[in-house]
Structure 1
Amino acid sequence: MLLAVLHPLHPGLAQGFFAPLENHPSILQARLGLEAAQAQLRATQSPVSLQAQGGVSFFDVTPPPGAPTCPNPINPQCANLPGDGRQISLGLTLTPFAFGDVSDAVNQAAIGVEQASLGLRQARTQLEAQAVEAALRVRLAESGLEAARLGQRLSQASLEATRVRESRGAASPSEVRQAEASLRQAAIQQADAERNLALARLSLADLIGQSSTALPRLAIPSQNTPPAVRQAELQLAQAQVAFDRAVRGVLPVVQGSYARNTSAHDSWSLSLNSRTLQPTLSYTSQSQGRSAPQDRIHGTLQIGLSANIAFGVVDALEAAQKQVEAARQAVEAARRSSKLQEELLRSLLHTAEQSLINAQQVRTDAERTFSEARERERLGLASPLATLQAELSLAQARLGIEQADLSRTQRLLDLYRFFALPLSEVNR
């Protein structure tokens, strides 16, 4: 089986490698979105809310016939005519438990928190996968540069050998030109490899800075709920909330309140309705006191019933029910599709693992060939050019290992992205 890449990550290694990503704008954006959703949920779950209201009224008073303009404190006919009025109301609403519309708001906010949390996990998984790929591309570029340098050395040695053969009449000028062209091509490939390495290092530094933390080893993730399925489940929950709200909208609402007048200017009231079951305690103070005979009323109990039935209510309820059923079918479809996609991703990973094993065998063979070439050169049975050719083949085999390892890791990262599993959480 495979190698070190299958072994669990040493504790703390993943955290050190991925730690710089926590300040990346994409993760910061997703985290702030989650914090906003959590704050919204806390707001809907608040057990107490306070309302305050105040106002002032100015009266345009018409005096009795023949009387001077009012208000006029000297004129006794104007003494009982106010020029203004003031009123202050304070209300305290309690939410002992979520019910009705309050429950809908809490459920909706909770769904928002789950969606934001899923978005953060997806953003973190995507960014951490990019960091691993960037680190592997640096290693691939380093191997590519090593092979390119050996290729240039081999082309230079081949050109020198061809020129020697030409001086002895054993090679034609055409062969010399071909050797020179091969050297120029090798130089171009080396320069291209150097640029690729610089770009790969720049890409990695953009993600995790100049950290020299070792590349983490990744374990194959186990089965989990894919985000596509979870999103469908959340949409089903939203559809159910909308249906419950539609049903509650056609139910009659019972309202009850009791008001107690403590003075001619002050009163207290307690109210409750069947839609939310939130008791509200209110206090009202007004500058204009109650006059007879209302001043003899000390308490008022009111019970009311209200209903809002429209002609299209049946169709509206049917539409909401159809939305729930459609969302339920979407969940089933997402599960089936995700299962097939997971099987495909695991199959591709298995193929990539086999390719990596084959690349390792190629490298082993190249190491033996290189060792044999050096021994033959030591014994005088082969030229240094043959040894250099074997060394280049070994470098190319190592490059093949890096390419196969990158391909295998990309297939593994596809599984992490598919499940929205942050690498820093799974590989602890």
Structure 2
Amino acid sequence: MARKIEKIVLAYSGGLDTSIILKWLQETYGCEVVTFTADLGQGEELEPARAKAAIFGVKDVRIVDLREEFVRDFVFPMLRANTVYEGQYLLGSSIARPLIAKHLVAIAREIGADAVAHGATGKGNDQIRFELAVDALDPSIKVIAPWRQWNIRSRTQLLEYAEKHRIPVPSDKRGEAPFSIDANLLHTSTEGKILENPAEVAPDHIYRRTVDPVDAPDAPEIVTIGFESGDPVAVNGKAMTPAALLTALNELGGRHGIGRLDLVENRFIGMKSRGVYETPGGTILLAAHRGIESITLDRAAAHLKDEIMPRYAEMIYNGFWFAPEREMLQALIDRSQVFVSGEVAMRLYKGSASVISRTSPSSLYSSDLVSFEESSIAYDHHDAEGFIRLNGLRLKSWAVRNRR
């Protein structure tokens, strides 16, 4: 016999969908529901979520500022690996879910809740990310996914449920389904409506964080980023906390139209989906980090990182942040960053972020070695002859065999 649920912690945005879920949980399980709203720098006023939860009689409303933890403990470790999914996506939504799940579990443990609940749909990746994270952190906690359990199967039925239970429906939520938008300090993503047809051009009005590169300033802007052990620590010589640094670069990148991406991606659940992403600060940091690595990482170490990065990105995208294999790869990546310190100058211009200079006290770059002038370092040009001969030996054998 299934145990009775006495208390639930709900990941609550304060929007229409999670407000309906809140009421449905109370009605279905007849127990106390605690709401948890994560401030990840989504740029919205979060206090209204407290008032909305109070309307439903919620006595314990949690709104937690996670901006510094999000950037320091999730975004930056991912950045150390130069992580992109399917060659383009900087994983702005994917990397936020394990942090939210971590705090859902922590609150559940603190108050003795039996279950946590989320508002992710049954077709998306987020349901997997939330639930795999909970499984890894505390398998004794039950996960409730209303979109997979209730009998609401359409937006019309959703609005009817809201009307029946006197849940306020904003005027912009009536009629056609709105865009699905997710935002945090790293990115803004937009899905749905016209974007569901990959042949349609994304309308200009969906972009919220970046100007059209065509309309960006006609003069480039130079910004310097300081790194210590693989993590960015300063902008233009000014030391900043992780969240403040990303916020500053988001403003700079957005002004220059940097970080726009229109992508058709492969969901873990088994379907393709289209999203429009804006990741201005993250795009600058990715280019800058590769810039500082170019002079501080050994060739084999750099190439090994590039080989494992797609696997690491897939782990994050698919929801395995707390899995042992991701932690093993993170240890390898972090070891590679010991000497990745220095400063990179970036040119921001019309949608592009380009490295124009890089310096490091731990640089492996040797002007003597690469110079066409006489080198002070012992390098005999004749050594290259033997090196080439040995590497060509197998090619000669292969060519002789082919001619036979």
TM-score normalised per structure 2: 0.18
> Which is richer in strand?
2
> Which is richer in helix?
1
State the structure with more CA Rg. 1
Identify which of structures 1 and 2 has the higher relative contact order when contacts are C-alpha pairs closer than 8 Å and 6+ apart.
Answer: 1
TM-score normalised per structure 1: 0.18
